[in-house]
Structure 1
Amino acid sequence: MEPTLAQLSSAIDATWVMVSAILVILMQVGFALLEAGSTRMKNAGHVAGKTVLTFGICSIAFWALGFGLTFGDGNSFLGLSGFFFDGNSTDSFSAFSAATVPISILFLFQLAFCAVSLAIAWGGFAERAKLSIYFIFSVLFTVLIYPVVGHWVWGGGWLAQLGMQDFAGSTVVHLQGAIVALVATILLKPRLGKYNRDGSSNLIPGHNQVYSVLGVLFLWIGWFGFNAGSTLGSTSGFFGYIAMTTNLATAAGAVAALAISWIVMGKADIPSMLNGVLAALVAITASCAFVDPWAAVLIGAVSGILTFYTSIWFDRIGIDDPIFAFSVHGVAGIWGTLSTGLFATPELAEKVGVGGAGLFYGGGFHQLGVQALGLAGAIAYVFVISYIILSVLKATIGLRVTEEEEVVGLDLSEHGGYGYPELLQPERVHPTATAKTSASHTLT
């Protein structure tokens, strides 16, 4: 039988969301390259490898409990059904009642979001946390932290009922991960050699800036699945508009961050530009479906500048955040969430069906107030719960490796081998090969 128009439309939507899920999962490649490049050579293998480990743990925990707690039917604060998801049943997921995409694809898409939030959190643990912490905290984050705020905003919870606008997760995904990263940096204390006795800071540069650039480009591309995929369909064509606002904001963040670094530091700083790209992506994630193109450019540019200054400030007050997780994902997440309360147009708010117009479009302070309330609730919950969990782990099994292990590097101390073994171990050359090389040089 020939497929009906509705069946074709559903198949196209499902394909788009599946492609988007793959793009968001590929963002893990971006995080691996960015974090490995932004840390020291002796930790590069560990930093990249734990990305695979934690994605695996997150996948199992989200399937067992996280998906149901986030999107399952329950109350205004938590989902209470749909655990150990069977891949087919929709009875427990009223939050997806309007979707035409198979729920198994929606599960993969939402799993990818949770994994991104967890990857952001690890920025605060970089270069000094025990490997065992990644096992334990991956499960606890996926079950006790991420689903709660996720349910509040996206699962029909109290913030959804108030009309909070967070289209693809400036608060749900990025701010949650950033707050955990901040708590981790506070409890773990700075890396050895980061600060002097007088409180002055020492630069600990990453070992491979090219890796960092490639990682950011992977994230930029993957973000089209992140934001545009959150339409959960493609046949309306609205995903194209969201992709456009996302790209405009990101471009503005890159240019603004590089420009401000050049003005302030006298040099065009590449890491600052990369942070500007990511900060703009984070900020536009909440507002990409609600704002005009000019506002997207403004949101991206402001986020790039904010991230530049706040990363310097956090470093000065003694917070050693190796990947700048809170500046990039936290500060920009807050700005991006508030920006919809300023710039959301009435037409786009009606089109999406969430909340109302922002302050500058005749909506008064109502939507801005809802956004601020959502931020306050999310920050308070995530900070308190993550602080309790990490404090208990610190008091029991410990969060941080020993000083000796930190000096040697986590590649060797946790995994028994370097990420770059040929550079850190003497090369053994057969005597015959040495003789042939010498003879070749003589002939030359």
Structure 2
Amino acid sequence: MKTLTKLGLAAALIAAPSLGLAQDDGPVPGVNAATDSVFIFNSLLFLIGGFLVFWMAAGFAMLEAGLVRAKNVTMQLTKNIALFSFAAIFYYLIGYNLMYPLGTWAIDGILSGVWGPGVLEAVGVTADAADDYGYASTGSDFFFQLMFCAATASIVSGALAERIKLWPFLIFTVILTSIIYPLQASWKWGGGFLDAMGFLDFAGSTVVHSVGGWAALAGALILGPRIGKYTKDGKTVPIPGHNLALATLGTFILWLGWFGFNGGSQLAMGTVGDVADVSRIFANTNTAAAGGAIAALILTQVLYKKPDLTMVLNGALAGLVSITAEPLTPTLGAATLIGAVGGVIVVFAVPFLDKLKIDDVVGAIPVHLFAGVWGTIAVVFTNGDASLGTQLYSIIVVGIFVFVVSSVIWFILKTTVGIRVGEEEEINGLDMAELGMEAYPEFSKG
């Protein structure tokens, strides 16, 4: 009897917001108040999660602006606002329907048969429409998914900073956000063959982060390192960023946005259980970031005798990427350890890339690719439904697809329009060479 009473109370609380609206507008015959509330709260989660992930665009911009030299800041800021804007348009024109085929496939489980602009269905609160609302509003779903798509392009921007031309980069961004990202995302989140196999990637350690990492790696290899980064005898010359305060601000903004990234990926907030799960995801996301930051802090102290702030910042981000594949099932302790491993990976991966003479200005490849792979594998340690073989197979399939296609596109751009600025322009800085303006004109000579 107590159970029934509790259930009745819970149902009344869930229905309360819709009942309040009904009192204002008068009763609407046939409308299910509980169904209304589930629709409203699910849509609200998508919208809140979406604008938090949108705020990550500011985080990427600040992080990248802080980690490049002063002569390249305006270029990074321009790239970040432009890439987001292009992603918004082209995900609407092509990507959304390619990612979510609405049940129509040209090649079953692999390629969508639905092409063209996305359509946002209007829903009116009428008795006839009450049972046809669906799971959540299409507008909220489109908005939420768009933010993930744009975040993928932001990952590429930082790795290729300080030597890439603006327009070739934006051309690649259009292809990445309209075709490459949506197509591989459909294999998991659009009900494609990886999803059918049982691949688990809750919020996108592979689907989002490793995809950006693979695209960045392909670009870095074809673009080449910055002038002066590596000497002829193989030594690495540090090129510090100009403003670690901006980089730290960007990291905290990204940390905040990640609560929407992972929490919103619950995709439901219409029941007590869903809200409890979202809360658990928030807590695990936060502690994974802390674990990554602390691991990088301690490890750099041990290895270099002094802590390295840039490593600590990237350690926190690596912790966030690591927990993204499965932020719900771990305990707080397990989430901390998963994030800590991500922080360790970054500390060792950055010098490893330098040994290979792969120049990644902001550490995007270690954070998003290496930690993304680790996070996808780590799912098997806390989720009993995960298969190590399936996780590894999916990582490889997505990696090969994105790396090969990205390499082809970068190569075509290099041989046609060119992707790298000239030596003189790079030395003087991309702000003046590409844009004709500086971020800090009061400090310029003359």
Q: TM-score, normalised by structure 1?
A: 0.88
The separation in 1 between residues aligned to 2:256 and 2:116, in whole angstroms, is 32
SS in 1 for 2:245: helix
Partner of 2:254: 219
Partners of 2:39 and 2:134 within 8 A in 1: no
SS in 1 for 2:139: helix
In the alignment, structure 1 residue 282 sits paired with structure 2 residue 317: no
> Structure 1 residue 212: deviation in Å?
0.3
The separation in 1 between residues aligned to 2:111 and 2:334, in whole angstroms, is 34
Partner of 1:151: 186
SS in 1 for 2:325: helix
Partner of 1:256: 295
The separation in 1 between residues aligned to 2:111 and 2:254, in whole angstroms, is 30
Task: Identify the range of structure 1 (311-320 vs 27-36) with the bigger mean alpha-carbon deviation.
Answer: 311-320
CA deviation digits over 1:407-433, x for unaligned, max 9?
Answer: 11111011111111111144xxxxxxx
CA deviation digits over 1:189-241, x for unaligned, max 9?
Answer: 11011111111010000000000000000000000000000112223211111
> Alignment partner for residue 40 of structure 2, among 3, 7, 11?
11
> Structure 1 residue 393: deviation in Å?
0.8
Counterpart amino acid of residue 381 in structure 2: L
The separation in 1 between residues aligned to 2:211 and 2:113, in whole angstroms, is 21
SS in 2 for 1:287: coil
The separation in 1 between residues aligned to 2:323 and 2:351, in whole angstroms, is 22
SS in 1 for 2:229: coil
Partner of 2:17: none
CA deviation digits over 1:225-270, x for unaligned, max 9?
Answer: 0000011222321111111111111111111111100010000111
User: Matches of residues 210-249 of structure 1 in structure 2 within 5 Å?
Assistant: 210-235=245-270, 236-237=274-275, 238-249=277-288
- Residue 25 to residue 99, structure 1, CA distance change in 2 (3 Å): farther
Identity %: 38
> Alignment partner for residue 234 of structure 2, among 199, 224, 233?
199
Task: Identify the range of structure 1 (261-270 vs 99-108) with the bigger mean alpha-carbon deviation.
Answer: 99-108
The separation in 2 between residues aligned to 1:244 and 1:50, in whole angstroms, is 33
Partner of 1:437: none
In the alignment, structure 1 residue 423 sits paired with structure 2 residue 443: yes
The separation in 2 between residues aligned to 1:41 and 1:99, in whole angstroms, is 50
> Structure 1 residue 13: deviation in Å?
2.2
Task: Identify the range of structure 1 (165-174 vs 76-85) with the bigger mean alpha-carbon deviation.
Answer: 76-85
Partner of 2:119: 86
The separation in 1 between residues aligned to 2:122 and 2:44, in whole angstroms, is 20
> Alignment partner for residue 428 of structure 2, among 403, 408, 430?
408
> Alignment partner for residue 56 of structure 2, among 19, 27, 30?
27
User: Matches of residues 422-441 of structure 1 in structure 2 within 5 Å?
Assistant: 422-426=442-446
How many residue pairs align between the two structures? 401
The separation in 1 between residues aligned to 2:119 and 2:189, in whole angstroms, is 21
> Structure 1 residue 17: deviation in Å?
1.4
User: Matches of residues 115-194 of structure 1 in structure 2 within 5 Å?
Assistant: 115-194=150-229
The separation in 1 between residues aligned to 2:117 and 2:433, in whole angstroms, is 36
CA deviation digits over 1:24-54, x for unaligned, max 9?
Answer: 0110000000001000000001101211111
Partner of 2:4: none
> Structure 1 residue 338: deviation in Å?
0.3
The separation in 2 between residues aligned to 1:135 and 1:282, in whole angstroms, is 25
CA deviation digits over 1:71-113, x for unaligned, max 9?
Answer: 11322112221620121189xxxxxx99621011100100000
Q: TM-score, normalised by structure 2?
A: 0.87
Partners of 1:195 and 1:201 within 8 A in 2: yes
The separation in 1 between residues aligned to 2:113 and 2:331, in whole angstroms, is 38
Partner of 2:97: 68
> Alignment partner for residue 391 of structure 1, among 397, 411, 422?
411
The separation in 1 between residues aligned to 2:331 and 2:233, in whole angstroms, is 48
Partner of 2:69: 40
Partner of 2:365: 326
Partner of 2:15: none
- Residue 310 to residue 98, structure 1, CA distance change in 2 (3 Å): farther
The separation in 1 between residues aligned to 2:133 and 2:404, in whole angstroms, is 34
Partners of 2:94 and 2:179 within 8 A in 1: no
Counterpart amino acid of residue 220 in structure 2: T
User: Matches of residues 260-339 of structure 1 in structure 2 within 5 Å?
Assistant: 260-339=299-378
In the alignment, structure 1 residue 382 sits paired with structure 2 residue 421: no
The separation in 1 between residues aligned to 2:87 and 2:309, in whole angstroms, is 32
> Structure 1 residue 292: deviation in Å?
2.5
> Structure 1 residue 294: deviation in Å?
2.1
Counterpart amino acid of residue 404 in structure 1: E
- Residue 99 to residue 33, structure 1, CA distance change in 2 (3 Å): farther
Partners of 1:41 and 1:419 within 8 A in 2: yes
